[in-house]
Amino acid sequence: MKHLLKLMDLSKEEILEILNLGDQLKYEQKHGIAHHRLEGKTLGMVFEKASTRTRVSFEVGMFQLGGHALFLSSKELQIGRGEAVEDTARVLSRYCDGVMIRTFAQKEVEDFARCASIPVINGLTDFAHPCQVLADLMTVREYKGHLEGLKLCFIGDGNNMANSMIVGGLKVGMRVSAACPAGYRPSPTVLEFAQSMVKSGAKFELLSDPLEAAKDADVVVTDVWASMGQEQQAEQRRRDFKGYCVDQAMMQLAHPDAIVQHCLPAHKGEEITEEVFEAHAPEIFEETENRLHAQKAVMVRLMAQ
Ligand code: CP
Ligand code: NVA
């Protein structure tokens, strides 16, 4: 594993190795055991979109690993004035030991990785959010003790989170159902991947009825209806996603011990009710914390040599 660009590139074993290392690093951090595995290393963090969790968890994670992180806003970088991604990749490769990028097009992250001589980590694109889903899988395993065979349902927009949840869930052997309104389906590449998994025995269904998708689910996942860059469509989307709010009635259909995952930020009253959010706040904020541990594992896997 050279980069983390999307979960589709990883094998089941690679995903599980990251989760295992994440568990170990979480244990070491909780017990005050020093784990300076990236002493003297620097991570460049390029942000072309806003962030709270990704920025803080990567920066704190690098510090805890004995390294250093640089926050690089595209507004202040030459990339924001049109310097080529290919050149920025070659420049940062001369200073840093790894780069995390949050941007719009997946192609930009892939182009960056192609030209960089250091590991590149996708910190969210319109297509994928692999770091988030690694943290989600780590959280699910923490709560349920295993992943294989659990039913995961994603309710809402077929966005970066839906794409990565479907791929991540299927890779680790979960049964995945997704409910998305017409016109808001996950990426065709992801649906193709899911169909190929189904041919080898995996369980996947794409539905338009969220209640059907939530039936007997062990894990209910949702995300905002308007992602970063789609703010102007928010009103239209509120109309189109009517009936897709994760509420108490939907949760009644899920397994009685079902957990809820939300990558945050949440728009309470839209994709999730305040009641469901607060009832499941412990696992949602554990998921937030696990960004730190899972990403530390990713950085150690990619950057420690
Ligand atoms: N979940 C997540 O990626 O949060 P931020 O946008 O705050 O980084
Ligand atoms: N789908 C959301 C996730 C935010 C972490 C977005 O892209 O804005």
Burial of 52 (0-12, 13-18, 19+ CB in 10 A): exposed
Q: Is there a domain that residue 298 lies in?
A: yes
pLDDT, one tens digit per residue, over 45-67 is: 999 999 999 999 999 999 999 99
Q: What is the mean pLDDT of the chain?
A: 98
pLDDT, one tens digit per residue, over 149-196 is: 999 999 999 999 999 999 999 999 999 999 999 999 999 999 999 999
* CATH code, domain with 269: 3.40.50.1370
Ligand 2 center to residue 33 CA distance, Å?
33
Residues 111 and 215 in one domain: no
CA nearest ligand 1 atom 4, residue: 53
Residues 150 and 26 in one domain: no
Q: What are phi and psi of 32, to 5 degrees?
A: 65, 25
- Known catalytic residue: 153? no
C-alpha torsion sign, points 101, 137, 280, 214: positive
H-run or E-run covering 175: strand 175-179
The catalytically annotated residue of 131, 237, 263, 280 is 263
Q: Which tokens sit at 137? A: 């899988």
Residues 265 and 123 in one domain: no
Closest-lying ligand to the alpha carbon of 237? 2
Q: Is there a domain that residue 185 lies in?
A: yes
CA nearest ligand 1 atom 2, residue: 53
The secondary structure of residue 150, as a DSSP letter, is: -
pLDDT, one tens digit per residue, over 26-46 is: 999 999 999 999 999 999 999
Residues within 6 Å of ligand 2 by CB: 124, 159-161, 223-224, 227-228, 263
Closest-lying ligand to the alpha carbon of 100? 1
How many percent of the chain have pLDDT more than 70? 100
CA nearest ligand 2 atom 3, residue: 227
Quickly list H helices, 146-232.
Answer: 160-171, 188-199, 210-214
Q: Is there a domain that residue 266 lies in?
A: yes
- Known catalytic residue: 37? no
Residues 72 and 31 in one domain: yes
pLDDT of residue 305: 76
Residues 297 and 198 in one domain: no
Ligand 2 center to residue 199 CA distance, Å?
30
* Best probe residue, ligand 1, of 100, 124, 129, 138 (max atoms within 8 Å of C-beta): 124
Domain count, the chain: 2
pLDDT of residue 218: 98
Residues 150 and 115 in one domain: no
The CA distances from residue 111 to 12, 95, 128, in Å, are 25, 19, 15
Q: Is there a domain that residue 16 lies in?
A: yes
Closest-lying ligand to the alpha carbon of 226? 2
Residues 158 and 274 in one domain: yes
The catalytically annotated residue of 53, 223, 237, 293 is 223
pLDDT of residue 274: 98
- Known catalytic residue: 223? yes
Q: Which domain holds residue 237?
A: 130-287
Residues 146 and 115 in one domain: no
Q: Is there a domain that residue 33 lies in?
A: yes
Q: Which tokens sit at 203? A: 């369980």
Enumerate residues 6+ apart whose C-beta is below 8 A from 108: 85, 101, 125
Q: Is there a domain that residue 2 lies in?
A: no
* Best probe residue, ligand 1, of 291, 292, 295 (max atoms within 8 Å of C-beta): 291
Residues 267 and 151 in one domain: yes
* Whole-number Å distance between alpha carbons of 5 and 106: 8
Taking phi over 0 as left and psi of -120 to 50 as alpha, with beta for the rest, 227 belongs to beta
Residues 253 and 205 in one domain: yes
Q: Is there a domain that residue 299 lies in?
A: yes
* Whole-number Å distance between alpha carbons of 236 and 238: 5
CA nearest ligand 2 atom 1, residue: 227
The whole-number average pLDDT for the span 80-100 is: 96
Residues 59 and 141 in one domain: no
Residues 192 and 248 in one domain: yes
How many percent of the chain have pLDDT more than 90? 99
Q: Is there a domain that residue 26 lies in?
A: yes
